[in-house]
Structure 1
């Protein structure tokens, strides 16, 4: 494959937003397992999704998080739903916000899509609560 191109300002901004939303551990892992084959994809989503859309000042990260969760749930992207539910710890979207988003999914995209997303969110919340409990014990 080719030599990597220099990183654009939009990429650098996207990387900062991606880290702020998903957390350093997630981004470090994604970069760590990236290969020459999928590196162009990682660069694309960092620049386009995070540097172009998520970095816009019109909506807060909380608002973008809520809309993103509704869209991912409606489309049945389960792994992404789980990742973005976890990211709400960084975006300010509350569990109540997520519940409301999934109620919209039920009405506009179907009950099975919302039911699946709710099940995933409950699993992620349980994991997050368990992790928080473990960190409180230390």
Structure 2
């Protein structure tokens, strides 16, 4: 695959997972300062990794949520919890992943992730 192919595949996958509105906002807000970074994540995260056939989007979503929760990356975690509506991961799936995360990454970081997930699922499913 060429870099152009990776970018195109990455953009398609990124849109499928995060939604057009999110990607359009990121593209609109892109500047010369972060253009290379945006290209990098589109080609590598979305084109090379998220587009691989070995795992389903649901499985990748749940792994990503566990890792982001464990690392305390709340902004990215919120984005990926919201993306579950596009990946097939359910609130029950996220709950199980976060319970699992509590054992292996710690209760304090998972406590914050649970609060975040609860707020997001409440706002999207009142």
- What TM bracket, shorter-length normalisation? over 0.9
Find the partner of 2:5 among 2, 9, 30.
Answer: 9
The one of 47, 53, 61 aligned to 1:51: 47
Give 3-state SS (helix, strand or coil) of 1:79's partner.
Answer: helix
The yes-or-no answer on 1:104 pairing with 2:94 is: no
Cα offset, 1:127, TM superposition: 1.6
| TM-aligned CA deviation for residue 36 of structure 1 | 0.4
Secondary structure in 1 matching 2:45: helix
Q: TM-score, normalised by structure 2?
A: 0.96
The answer for unaligned runs of 5 or more in structure 2 is none
Q: Does 1:117 align with 2:113?
A: yes
Which stretches in structure 1 are left out of the alignment for 5+ residues?
Answer: 1-6, 131-138
Please state whether the residue corresponding to 2:110 is helix, strand or coil.
Answer: helix
What pairs up with 1:53-72 in 2 under 5 angstroms? 53-72=49-68
CA-atom RMSD in angstroms: 1.2
Structure 1 segments, 4+ long, off by >4 Å, are none
TM-score by length of 1: 0.88
Q: Which residue of 2 aligns with 1:4?
A: none
The number of aligned residues is: 125
Q: Which residue of 2 aligns with 1:26?
A: 22
CA distance in 2 between partners of 1:39 and 1:79 (Å): 20
